[in-house]
Structure 1
Amino acid sequence: MGNFGIKIMTETDSFHTSELGLKMTALKIPFPNPKTNYISVPGASGNIDLSEVFGRVLYEDRSNVTFEFVLRGNFDLWEVVTFRIATMIHGKKCKVIVDNDLSHYYVCRLSVDRSKSKRSVGTITLSGTAESFKYDIYNTAEEWLWDTFDFEEGVLREYNEITVNEYNKELVLIGGIMPQVPVFTVKNVNELKLTYAGRTYDMPEDGTYRFPAIVVAENDITLSFTGTGIVTINYRGAYL
């Protein structure tokens, strides 16, 4: 754990904090606050709660996200390292992968917090916000790399070029909290159709299809196929 830290990726840069001689000493990634909507009714006790009027709980961004580091070795380099980090990430949107959770990333907007960074003790603090959910490193159409997969808590979703025929007609899509509409890419099709929640959808020719009524959210869903073809299903798991 000597090089424990985070990997940060912006549109132009990608680096691990250990490459700058930093060791992470603390991190805080709070859960997002739910968006609530209460309406006061004159002359009545209590309120009308419309927080789940759209059928699910919605969330604010995660606020007060912080990553605290100490400079290993020469504190004289503190100003140089601080300036370098600020140049690469200050105020920018970035992806962050924490070393103890390599299967997921957060989408953050971080800045160097000078008020919490102290040259005298070689500390540097990054602070900012993050999107409500953390995301799987790989989407369901990509091949997982086993060296980053968490065999104890990880959820494997891999739906790449699945052969649909008379022996393989059903497929379970694993949920992941944030609702998403999967994208279906099909080839070598012959009267290929899928059924979900009592409704059937045609995929008559090779190409890409998206059906807004098919949503993968907190619960797993089961798709049933008829006909034949090769199907790739693309969405990305997301969690609190």
Structure 2
Amino acid sequence: MGEFGITINGVHTYRDLGLKMTTFSIPFPNPKTNYISVPGASGNIDLSEVFGRILYEDRNGVTFEFALRGNFDLWDVATSKIAAMIHGKKCNVIVDNDLSHYYVCRLSVDRSKTKRSVGTITLSGTAEPFKYDICSTAEDWLWDTFDFEEGTLREYKEVAVNVYNKDMVLTGGIMPQVPEFTVKNANALKLTYAGRTYDMSKDGTYRFPAIVVENDVTLNFTGSGTVTVNYRGAYL
């Protein structure tokens, strides 16, 4: 895979540690299912989506395998360095073929698969069910890593709300999230969603539990002000 690798908490496995990735696996999460057996009846009652959506387990069986052949001393140094950096810890992982997103993992150096004699190092562990956008909607986009073919651009930083710009569409990202609204220069500013109106007439930060971004959400504003909407897209 040449220089292909992963970035763990800002450290790249090839450019910073000299590790050549040979293979990796980030499985999809298993859905959380819930079946109730009913005596005297065929089949089961399926309660897997009783909360209105399917939920997921963590991603198990996450593995990253690397090779560092020809220098046993360097292998010892690299193994110790990466173990000190991530062994058993929660970390953010960016894979080079998906630079717009990161995974939240808990990784360890897998001693059963890490062998000095053949110069291999294997990291294994789990990851949260969803991968996340590198940038939240309140941050400036990193254009060097943005995927112009598959990426979703969300620009909700310091949006001017006035009579000419009163509607806002929030693009969903599969995982339901409650966005945070930061208001400046508010003048009788109000937000309406799903038939309910929320007062944002004072500068400050607001969260409304009834406004959940999962699919696309359309918000309507009256009054004026500058609004920043903060949430982070998340995907399987």
TM-score normalized with structure 1 length:
0.95
Aligned residues of 1:23 and 1:72 also touching (Cα < 8 A):
no
Are 1:231 and 2:223 counterparts?
Answer: no
Are 1:105 and 2:102 counterparts?
Answer: yes
Tell me, in whole angstroms, the C-alpha distance in 1 between the residues paired with 2:201 and 2:169.
22
Tell me, in whole angstroms, the C-alpha distance in 2 between the residues paired with 1:88 and 1:107.
15
Tell me, in whole angstroms, the C-alpha distance in 2 between the residues paired with 1:110 and 1:207.
38
> Aligned runs of 1:15-164 on 2, under 5 Å?
15-18=11-14, 19-71=16-68, 74-164=71-161
Q: Which residue is 1:211 aligned to? A: 208
Aligned residues of 2:69 and 2:120 also touching (Cα < 8 A):
no
Q: What letter is aligned with 2:89? A: K
Tell me, in whole angstroms, the C-alpha distance in 1 between the residues paired with 2:201 and 2:70.
64
Q: What letter is aligned with 2:221? A: F
Percentage of identical aligned residues: 81
Report the number of matched residues: 235
Tell me, in whole angstroms, the C-alpha distance in 2 between the residues paired with 1:97 and 1:150.
14
CA deviations 1:187-231 (Å, max 9, x no partner) are 1111101111111111011001110000001x1010011100000
Tell me, in whole angstroms, the C-alpha distance in 2 between the residues paired with 1:80 and 1:202.
58
Q: What letter is aligned with 1:141? A: A
TM-superposed CA distance for 1:73, in Å, is: 5.1
Aligned residues of 1:141 and 1:232 also touching (Cα < 8 A):
yes
Are 1:191 and 2:192 counterparts?
Answer: no
Q: What letter is aligned with 2:6? A: I
Instruction: Find the residue that maps to 1:146 and give its secondary structure.
Output: coil
- Structure 2, unpaired ranges of 5+: none
Tell me, in whole angstroms, the C-alpha distance in 1 between the residues paired with 2:123 and 2:57.
20
Match of 1:220 among 216, 221, 228: 216
Instruction: Find the residue that maps to 1:158 and give its secondary structure.
Output: coil
TM-superposed CA distance for 1:116, in Å, is: 1.0
Tell me, in whole angstroms, the C-alpha distance in 2 between the residues paired with 1:211 and 1:76.
56
Tell me, in whole angstroms, the C-alpha distance in 2 between the residues paired with 1:73 and 1:57.
48
Instruction: Find the residue that maps to 1:80 and give its secondary structure.
Output: helix
Q: What letter is aligned with 1:213? A: A
Aligned residues of 1:140 and 1:236 also touching (Cα < 8 A):
yes
- Structure 1, unpaired ranges of 5+: none
Instruction: Find the residue that maps to 1:222 and give its secondary structure.
Output: strand
TM-superposed CA distance for 1:3, in Å, is: 1.4
TM-superposed CA distance for 1:2, in Å, is: 2.4
Aligned residues of 2:181 and 2:228 also touching (Cα < 8 A):
yes
CA deviations 1:119-163 (Å, max 9, x no partner) are 222111100000000000010000001101011111111200000
Tell me, in whole angstroms, the C-alpha distance in 2 between the residues paired with 1:61 and 1:161.
35
Deviating runs (4+, > 2 A) in structure 1? 72-76
Q: What letter is aligned with 1:171? A: M
Instruction: Find the residue that maps to 2:160 and give its secondary structure.
Output: strand
Are 1:7 and 2:3 counterparts?
Answer: no
Aligned residues of 1:21 and 1:72 also touching (Cα < 8 A):
no
TM-superposed CA distance for 1:105, in Å, is: 0.4
TM-superposed CA distance for 1:72, in Å, is: 5.5
